[in-house]
Amino acid sequence: EAGVAQSPRYKIIEKRQSVAFWCNPISGHATLYWYQQILGQGPKLLIQFQNNGVVDDSQLPKDRFSAERLKGVDSTLKIQPAKLEDSAVYLCASSLGNRDSTTEAFFGQGTRLTVV
């Protein structure tokens, strides 16, 4: 079974530029998550989708971050404009569902973003 795919693996941009990350979840997984992991910390949830609807985006900085999941499969996360503090690893994860035994989450390799 193929895992969660993310691209690119690495990205370096200047502050105030824009960047986009792509995620393809495990086939059949209805729930998709984007996490931000700053060096030395645990991942923090940015946004959670159930199919193509948003379940939780309470920690997404909506003035600069946006995410979409068209057709309930692939997802993109965009930052515009980027700030230095956005430097982090952006992790995508998916799970079969979001309740009970279906909630085991599987993560992709992440995209390491460096803003200079």
Partner 1 sequence: KQEVTQIPAALSVPEGENLVLNCSFTDSAIYNLQWFRQDPGKGLTSLLLIQSSQREQTSGRLNASLDKSSGRSTLYIAASQPGDSATYLCAVRPAAAGNKLTFGGGTRVLVKP
Q: 82 vs 94, which CB is nearer to partner 1? A: 94
Tell me, residue by residue from 3 to 22, as one string, x for binding to partner 1 by CB under 8 A and - for no binding: -x-x----------------
Give the separation between CA 100 and CA 75, rounded to whole angstroms: 24
Q: Does 56 help bind partner 1 (rule: CB under 8 A)? A: yes
Stretch that binds partner 1, among 17-25, 64-72, 75-83, 101-109 (CB under 8 A): 101-109
Q: Does 27 help bind partner 1 (rule: CB under 8 A)? A: no
Encode 62-85: b = buried (16+ Cβ within 10 Å), e = exposed: eeebbbebeeebebebebeebeee
Determine contact, residues 91/31, Cβ cutoff 8 Å: no
Sites of contact with partner 1 (CB under 8 A) = 4, 6, 33, 40-45, 48, 55-56, 91, 93, 98-101, 103-110, 112
